[in-house]
Amino acid sequence: MARILLDTPAVTPALGYDRIAIALATLIQQSDPRFAVGVFGGWGSGKTTLMDTIREELRNPDTLKVVFNGWRYEREPHLIVPLLDTIRGAVVAHAERQQEGAVRQTLLAVATRIGQVVRALVSGLSGKMTVGVAEVTFDAAKSVEALGDGHQRPAAEAQSLYFACFEQLAGAFAELRERGGVDRVVVFVDDLDRCLPQNALSVIESMKLFFDLTGFVFVVGIDQRVLEQAIRERLSPAGDDRSLRLAEREYVKKIFQVPYELPPMHAEQLDDLLTAVYKTARIDGEQLVDLQQTVRPYLAHLAIEGQVNPREVKRFINAYTLQMLIRPQLDRATVLAVQTVVFRYDWALYEILRAETDALPQAVKQYRDGEDSALTDLWPEQIGALPTDLAQFLRSAEAAPLTRQDLRTYLTSVESTAPTEGWVGRAYVLIGRLRRIARQGVASLEQDAAGSQLDRISRDLASAAADLRAAVVDEQRGSERFAEHLDALLDLGRAISSQPAARWSEAVEGCIGNLQRELRLLRATPARPLPVGK
């Protein structure tokens, strides 16, 4: 039997989340319920684990707990609607758990009033909706009337849809506290990191409607950088960098009265995490032994600057598990060695492995035998001094399989399950092709080769550069700088016969090195979102 590790919180939280959760739950339970808690942390840092633990610690029966996953409703034009509807559903579920009939009826009546607000917002905010093939126009004023007693309101009364909704909600939640047995509503807003930045900001702005309503506490898990990016995009035409940074900080302060930044997980805590996730996933038997004995040494090499990402650890284990199910004949240590190289995107080693798959085993062997320049010689101007953790990995027992001559088979297997986009692999293959063509050009120049041979090399260089442009720039991945470096490379290809070999080689290597640096930046940057409807 083989199980994967789901992207869900561990049943037994590591990192002392229980202590953190108890502290935050105490503040939520004992403070006046009119504030928001920001649980900040990067991708995969454990925000959901902490928020679920907080929710478990809120044991007061007078507390209504609501979970809202913003990314599920990302395509909704007005996220206040699904947010309110989620609260309505939680009130209904709470009513069904009540034994006292009067309380149950009060809760259902409150849910009905919230439902009226939702329907009014849907009609009033939509303006126009398509029903079947017919386009129906809604009148916001009529939507306001839907919230009242059905009679036309005097002109002197407010006709604002938002104002009317607020009045209705204020009355509903006051009734919830007075006769529904609910002291506070705690709304957990999670998975905003999965939303586009502007949609994440829309969810947070939808919460503002509740900030003037007594009885609400919001607990929001988000990467603060995502929120700041959204604010910057919203305000970018309005000020310089300094004013934008100030606006970002002030916005976060105004929204979240209680901020909490998740501490990073250190490599020393990896075993605590693994124990928790294995228990949660019910990993046992041969699979547990394999993970503990075969996989565990490689997980240590995932630590970047002494820190590990819980979600990345799970993805690494799942990628390995899937490969072993599909291709059980593969050597497990080689799969793990190649997979480590692919997952460590900050190392340049994956680039060499992808572009020089056949040449890398010998270079690694020479490096392990003490030839420190072996990798630098293979790809000049790219490696330089190896990062300490990469050097330690290459000379460790875990890297020994990288000296095998059949790495291409393993690279294909790993890339089918690892988080590497296809364009990345194609780009590095083409970079390797450019380097090989450039070497041929230098050799021909040094031999004073005939013009026809230099013309062929120039055409080959232009062809490889065109393929690289198609793989990167035309895929909407490239930057202006990337395109400029490609153009410079094409100019050098056309000028191959007009320069000495050493000068031409240095210029070409410089262009290729620039392309590689841009590729690394592009690989670390999220792809630009496709237009709506694509």
C-alpha 24/C-alpha 531 separation (Å) is: 40
* Amino acid identity, position 182: V
Q: In terms of pLDDT, which residue wins out, 169 or 369?
A: 369
Take residue 187 and report the two structure tokens written for it: 């709304």
The pTM score is 0.65
In which residue are the tokens 């007594």 written? 214
Q: What band does 532 get if pLDDT is binned at 50, 70 and 90?
A: very low
Report how far apart, in Å, the C-alpha atoms of 227 and of each of 37, 131, 257, 385 are.
Answer: 14, 35, 16, 36
Q: Is the pLDDT of residue 71 over 60?
A: yes
For 339-353, what is the mean pLDDT? 85
Report how far apart, in Å, the C-alpha atoms of 128 and of each of 103, 134, 136, 289, 424 are.
Answer: 38, 10, 6, 60, 43
What per-residue confidence (pLDDT) applies to 286? 94
Give the pLDDT confidence of 467-500 residue by residue, as tens digits: 888 877 765 555 678 888 888 888 888 888 887 8
For 382-410, what is the mean pLDDT? 88
What per-residue confidence (pLDDT) applies to 38? 92
Q: In terms of pLDDT, which residue wins out, 335 or 381?
A: 335
What per-residue confidence (pLDDT) applies to 14? 53
Element (H, E) at 35: strand 34-40
Q: Is the pLDDT of residue 525 over 60?
A: no
Among the ranges given (59-63, 182-186, 507-511), the one the predictor scored with the smallest mean pLDDT: 507-511
C-alpha 141/C-alpha 353 separation (Å) is: 65
Q: Is the pLDDT of residue 69 over 60?
A: yes
C-alpha 157/C-alpha 254 separation (Å) is: 31
Q: Is the pLDDT of residue 151 over 60?
A: no
Q: Is residue 69 classed as helix, strand or coil in its secondary structure?
A: strand
Among the ranges given (88-102, 129-143, 262-276), the one the predictor scored with the smallest mean pLDDT: 129-143
C-alpha 93/C-alpha 96 separation (Å) is: 5
Q: What band does 402 get if pLDDT is binned at 50, 70 and 90?
A: very high
C-alpha 215/C-alpha 230 separation (Å) is: 28
Burial label for 502, CB within 10 Å (0-12, 13-18, 19+), is: exposed
Q: In terms of pLDDT, which residue wins out, 191 or 383?
A: 191
What per-residue confidence (pLDDT) applies to 5? 82
What per-residue confidence (pLDDT) applies to 154? 43
Q: Which of 171, 163, 175, 219 is nearest to 33 (CA)?
A: 219
Q: What band does 361 get if pLDDT is binned at 50, 70 and 90?
A: very high
C-alpha 435/C-alpha 517 separation (Å) is: 15
Q: What band does 432 get if pLDDT is binned at 50, 70 and 90?
A: confident
Q: Is the pLDDT of residue 420 over 70?
A: no
Report how far apart, in Å, the C-alpha atoms of 78 and of each of 84, 144, 205, 233, 364 are.
Answer: 11, 17, 10, 19, 55
C-alpha 190/C-alpha 72 separation (Å) is: 10
DSSP bridge pairs for 222: 40
Q: Is the pLDDT of residue 419 over 80?
A: no
Q: What band does 129 get if pLDDT is binned at 50, 70 and 90?
A: very low
C-alpha 209/C-alpha 84 separation (Å) is: 10
Q: In terms of pLDDT, which residue wins out, 29 or 149?
A: 29
What per-residue confidence (pLDDT) applies to 396? 96
What per-residue confidence (pLDDT) applies to 300? 93
Alpha helices per DSSP H over 256-359:
270-281, 285-290, 296-299, 310-326, 332-343, 349-355
| % of the chain at pLDDT higher than 70 | 83
* Amino acid identity, position 278: Y
Give the pLDDT confidence of 275-310 residue by residue, as tens digits: 988 988 899 999 999 999 999 999 999 988 888 888
Q: Is the pLDDT of residue 186 over 80?
A: yes
Among the ranges given (26-40, 141-155, 497-511), the one the predictor scored with the smallest mean pLDDT: 141-155
Give the pLDDT confidence of 45-67 residue by residue, as tens digits: 788 888 999 999 999 989 999 99
Q: What band does 384 get if pLDDT is binned at 50, 70 and 90?
A: low
**Exposed e or buried b per residue across 459-472, where buried means at least 16 C-beta atoms within 10 angstroms of its C-beta:** ebbeebbebbbebb
